[in-house]
Amino acid sequence: MYASPPEISCFEIETFHYLRDLVVENNIHCDWLSTTSVHGLYTENLVDRAARNLAKLAATYPHLAESACLVTQGPPSDPSLPTLRELGVPDARAAVVLKHAASLWPYKLVAWVLKELLAAESEGSRSSESEQGWFNLQTGTVVTEVQRVEDSWIVHTERGQVAAENVLLACNGYVSNLLPDFTGLIEPVQGQVASLRSGATRLGHTYIFLAEPPDGPVMDDYLVQAISGEKELVLGGGRVLGNAKGRGVSDDDFIDETVSHHLRTILPAVLDMHSGEDLPEGERAEMDASFEWTGIMGYSVDGRPWVGAVPETLGGGPGLYIAAGYTGHGMPVAALSARAVVSMMGGQKKDHIPQEYVISPERIGRVRSTPRLKGELLDEMVMDQL
């Protein structure tokens, strides 16, 4: 709410409600938890920008301002507000509390969707009135090329070819492997996560921890707590400390040891978790990690997804569509971006997406002239965008 244009903020809130209702109405077992999110700000420069943005939001878009509040050090001016200690970040300079937040197990949600589609396909195959063969799931099948032949797109795979009138590319960081003209628009970036063993009780929030030079060392980490195991804290981030900040990395088979050390040591510092150890000055307690893993994100150079028809200037043409480039921020926007692009593929335009996501010659030209990834600096995450 405090770091995005209002149209995008509204879209993210709509996506939150869409996913929440989908999970509740269908009783999907994906560990969904509606909660609040606490953004701990550990440097004054970020506090100043957040306060400025929230004040402007309250003056211009009050319905959005109601979704966020700033908590600063000392007794709160509003008795209804919690203190930083009550929020779990006593050493932060301030914190932004966001009302619309959730945690979930994404794989379980996707698995439920696929299971439902397979069940519907099976049911349809038993009915002479239903169209057969409308859903075909091919796992572990690498697409090597998409090729336009007359009025169809030919999808080349290691197991054969598929011809289709419409094709949707949802391969995020790997788009440029199939559409080389997207090189420089969407870049693969390796992110890293650790599942940490902790004796902590239920946290009560999801968290983001932010800090920025020159007021302090750079920090950009996010934390959720697994519902099915209260002693497991799932922490991601530390990318800016790793080799080349993970940029251009498309291999998720290895972890960065520098990032790993950061993830195992940062929580006792930011959440004031007592380790029970007497450590030398300057050293941090290291938590045990039950799992550590990496994943490849698709970073859009301008920080916004690319959603819609792929123009010929980018290697596309009639019938080729894309929804990709979520820049590590896919959960709040991907579901409704996908719904919108599928509506376009069906010849409908009833589903709205933010103007910033639309593919246009102007946007392509603007991004081509951008020297680096948007969001590489935190002042582009918490900035005057209203």
pLDDT in tens, the chain (386 residues): 888 899 999 999 999 999 999 999 999 999 999 999 999 999 999 999 999 999 999 999 999 999 999 999 988 778 888 999 999 999 999 999 999 999 999 999 999 999 999 988 887 666 555 555 678 888 899 999 999 999 999 999 999 999 999 999 999 999 999 999 999 999 999 999 999 987 766 788 999 999 988 877 788 999 998 877 557 899 999 998 988 889 999 999 999 999 999 999 999 888 865 444 554 445 567 899 999 999 999 999 999 999 999 999 999 999 999 999 999 999 999 999 999 999 999 988 778 899 999 999 999 999 998 766 655 544 444 445 55
Q: Are strands 143-149 and 152-157 parallel, antiparallel or unpaired?
A: antiparallel
Q: For CA atoms 259, 265, 266, 271, give the dihedral sign.
A: positive
- The CATH number of 143-185+301-374 is 3.50.50.60
pTM attached to this predicted model = 0.90
pLDDT value, residue 312: 96
HSE-CB at 106 with a 13 A cutoff on CA atoms is 6
User: Using CA atoms, how far apart are residues 67 and 97, in angstroms rounded to an integer?
Assistant: 8
Residue 216 to residues 43, 84, 225: CA-CA distances in angstroms?
6, 19, 26
pLDDT value, residue 166: 96
Q: What is the location of CATH 3.50.50.60 in the chain? A: 143-185+301-374
pLDDT value, residue 381: 47
Q: Is 341 exposed, middle or buried (0-12, 13-18, 19+ CB in 10 A)?
A: buried
pLDDT value, residue 377: 47
Contact 212, 46 (CB under 8 A): yes
Amino acid, single-letter form, for residue 364: I
